[in-house]
Amino acid sequence: MKTDTANVLAKVADLAGSAARYLPEPAATGVGLFRDVMDTVRGASSDIGGVSTSASGDIGSLIQLQIDAQQEMQAATMISNLEKSKHESKMAAIRNVRVG
């Protein structure tokens, strides 16, 4: 399980590093960094957090929906944090120019 998690994190880091190559596009298209991250996370494993996604019937589909929603939230949070860091770095440079 740890190896799978490490592989997923490495792939996400690689995708985040290549984020600059994506041009802004409407969210409706479903392409770009967010989709790449989601595909990487979704394809990582059938067991996430020790909970098997192979449960039968309605419970299995509900668990899968919850896992999908959590993955989307985590990916959105990650991208938001990356963008915030980039913005804060740029603002710090601007503040340093104003002070000096």
pLDDT band, residue 23 (cuts 50/70/90): low
Segment 73-79 long-range contacts (CB within 8 Å, at least 24 positions apart): 74/41, 75/34, 75/37, 75/38, 75/41, 76/34, 78/12, 78/16, 78/37, 79/33, 79/34, 79/37
Q: What share of the chain is helix, strand, coil (3-state, %, to 5)?
A: 75, 5, 20
* pTM of the model as a whole: 0.41
Using the 8-state DSSP alphabet, how is residue 25 labeled?
-
The pLDDT value given to residue 69: 94
